[in-house]
Structure 1
Amino acid sequence: MKKKLIFFLLGTILLLTSLPLSTKMVMELIHNQKMNREYKVTNVNEGSPPTSSAFRFKGHIVEIKETLKNEDGYVDPWSNKIRMADLSLELDGAKIDTLRDYPIKVEEKGLNRYYGEIAYLLLEDKKSSKTQFIVLLKKTREFKKEMPNGYIVGGAPTEKLKYTLYSLDEEGNLNTKSFSFTERNGLQTKLLNDSFMVPYSIGYYTDAWEVYPSIFFPFIFPFVTLVVGFVLIVVFFPIRKVKK
């Protein structure tokens, strides 16, 4: 009886420790399937050759204008020469947003100058077959530098990362929405990943699927431990026999 109780308690511990994360991971899989079923996201920036920062969408022109500051720049940890600039986002020549004293990669061309800071995306709603043009701006400035000891400093904590999303539909209507790294919906999460404007790949319910897999995680824990815990509870559930 004592051995049976020990196995039951072991199963309970395994189940309780595995259930929260495994539930979120299953929810994340379902969510990703839903996003892929409903939307198609295309990153306009092809990298090479450089994509122009002036983009025409349904007769409208979205463009980034920049004014470089007369000050020395620096080299970031990835060997990009960085200088400060005032950036203006314009729609058909009208200014709709400004990023002041913003770090840009001055030796790059087109949208590559703003990689990781500004993104152009095409968002197709598969159900309605309508497409929106998305401009995603990272409002939080980061000045990343590598120290002599190899540490990278100047990055903002994730809870400080702020974004603004502009969406231009096929009828020419412009909408805007501001959100943060810590407070975002499922579609915003997908857009952040597809635009490479987050420090690492992120999930909506959990980031667990984004880590490098090993035999232990996520195979043994939390899914094998969840099943083993459930089996132990069922098999060794303490049932008191009723005397006749």
Structure 2
Amino acid sequence: MTQPKRKRLIIGIILVALSLPSITPMLMEIAYKIEMDTRYDIDELNADYAGAPDDANYYGNIIRASHITTGEPYFDGSDELVHPSDIRLTVNGETVETLEDYPVQLLYSEDIAVAGLDRYTHYLTYWTVEDKFTDEDFFAIVIWQNGYDTRQIDEDGWMEGYVDLEQLEYKLIKITKDGTVSQQLFTFDNKSKLQTQLITENYSGPINYYLPPGYYYPSLLYPLLYPWITTIVGLGLILFNFPYGAIKRRYTKTKQTT
């Protein structure tokens, strides 16, 4: 191998080695997205807070959310006036969950009524999940177990009740086509691949499985230049400067001596 080829090979190996810690989870995330899209058809009924109704009919199973106010209204962390309420979730008339003292928003800008699931903002969401490979389809209700009850930011910049994204806890209520109800508890840091799909994207970007939350908007420097271009250039240098001939000759010589 000539000296220039050896240098290019070493540079390629260094570029790939430096890029691996960043490119590996990105590739795993891409594979994860493809896996989920291939297997499941998932729809959030109240996506973008479009005012989906708080009752749903899933293969004849009636899912309904209702609430009773329990205290005086207050302004939450988003400066919205909310009413502490007990929220009752029923399936075919049977209570499956009662959420005590959860905030419910009744008005926008003090004069526009809030309807349907919008009243429960982000902490109570409805989903339909279709498994394309099996018949294990289900209706999902995802509930925040903490971080849902925040107060208006005070003079010191403190928001009472705020919980970091990584510390959030959830409850998943599953209703199958035959009306069977089951529950699962999970956290943001300990969630399955499918549960990850049932966490609503927030202002910081999508919820990922392998990548940190919020990874969404690419820039020229990261991740385009590093690690994608550095990985491609490194692999190219390795492929075009790898000593294939020397290895082949060594293999042939070894074979002849044996």
* 1:199-238 to 2 correspondences below 5 Å: 200-207=205-212, 210-230=215-235, 235=241
User: For the residues of structure 1 that align with 2:193 and 2:125, how far apart are their CA atoms?
Assistant: 18
Instruction: Check whether the contact 1:144–1:152 (CA below 8 A) recurs between aligned residues.
Output: yes
Q: How many Å apart are 1:151 and its aligned residue? A: 7.4
Q: How many Å apart are 1:144 and its aligned residue? A: 5.1
Q: Does 1:106 align with 2:106?
A: yes
Deviations 1:194-213 (A, max 9, x none): x4478641211114883311
Q: Does 1:42 align with 2:47?
A: no
User: Which of 141, 145, 169 in structure 1 is aligned with 2:147?
Assistant: 141
Q: Which residue of 1 aligns with 2:91?
A: 91
Q: Which residue of 1 aligns with 2:123?
A: 117
Secondary structure in structure 2 of the residue aligned to 1:88: strand
Q: Which residue of 1 aligns with 2:198?
A: 191
Secondary structure in structure 1 of the residue aligned to 2:71: coil
User: For the residues of structure 1 that align with 2:203 and 2:192, how far apart are their CA atoms?
Assistant: 15
Q: How many Å apart are 1:73 and its aligned residue? A: 1.1
Secondary structure in structure 2 of the residue aligned to 1:172: coil
User: For the residues of structure 2 that align with 1:120 and 1:89, how far apart are their CA atoms?
Assistant: 11
Q: Which runs of 5+ in 1 are unaligned?
A: 240-244
Q: How many Å apart are 1:70 and its aligned residue? A: 2.4
User: For the residues of structure 1 that align with 2:155 and 2:188, how far apart are their CA atoms?
Assistant: 30
Aligned residue identity for 1:29? I
Q: How many Å apart are 1:124 and its aligned residue? A: 1.0
Q: How many Å apart are 1:181 and its aligned residue? A: 0.4
Aligned residue identity for 2:162? G
CA pair 96-145 structure 1, distance change in 2 beyond 3 A? same
Structure 2 length as normaliser, TM-score?
A: 0.77
* 1:3-18 to 2 correspondences below 5 Å: 11-18=12-19
Deviations 1:205-224 (A, max 9, x none): 11488331111121111121
Q: How many Å apart are 1:189 and its aligned residue? A: 0.9
Secondary structure in structure 2 of the residue aligned to 1:14: helix
User: For the residues of structure 2 that align with 1:196 and 1:8, how far apart are their CA atoms?
Assistant: 42
* 1:158-177 to 2 correspondences below 5 Å: 158-177=165-184
User: For the residues of structure 2 that align with 1:62 and 1:21, how far apart are their CA atoms?
Assistant: 43
Aligned residue identity for 2:208? G
Aligned residue identity for 1:138? W
User: For the residues of structure 1 that align with 2:152 and 2:25, how far apart are their CA atoms?
Assistant: 35
Q: How many Å apart are 1:147 and its aligned residue? A: 4.5
Q: Which residue of 2 aligns with 1:242?
A: none
Deviations 1:101-149 (A, max 9, x none): 2122222211001121111111111223663111111111330534558
CA pair 114-236 structure 1, distance change in 2 beyond 3 A? same
Secondary structure in structure 2 of the residue aligned to 1:145: coil
Q: Which runs of 5+ in 2 are unaligned?
A: 108-113, 247-258
User: For the residues of structure 2 that align with 1:52 and 1:236, how far apart are their CA atoms?
Assistant: 62
User: For the residues of structure 2 that align with 1:223 and 1:65, how far apart are their CA atoms?
Assistant: 49
User: For the residues of structure 1 that align with 2:50 and 2:8, how far apart are their CA atoms?
Assistant: 62
User: For the residues of structure 2 that align with 1:22 and 1:218, how far apart are their CA atoms?
Assistant: 9
Aligned residue identity for 1:26? L
Aligned residue identity for 1:96? V
Instruction: Check whether the contact 1:76–1:82 (CA below 8 A) recurs between aligned residues.
Output: no
User: For the residues of structure 2 that align with 1:170 and 1:205, how far apart are their CA atoms?
Assistant: 31
Instruction: Check whether the contact 1:38–1:127 (CA below 8 A) recurs between aligned residues.
Output: yes
CA pair 208-159 structure 1, distance change in 2 beyond 3 A? closer
Secondary structure in structure 1 of the residue aligned to 2:198: helix
User: For the residues of structure 1 that align with 2:6 and 2:76, how far apart are their CA atoms?
Assistant: 63
Aligned residue identity for 2:122? G
CA pair 116-173 structure 1, distance change in 2 beyond 3 A? same
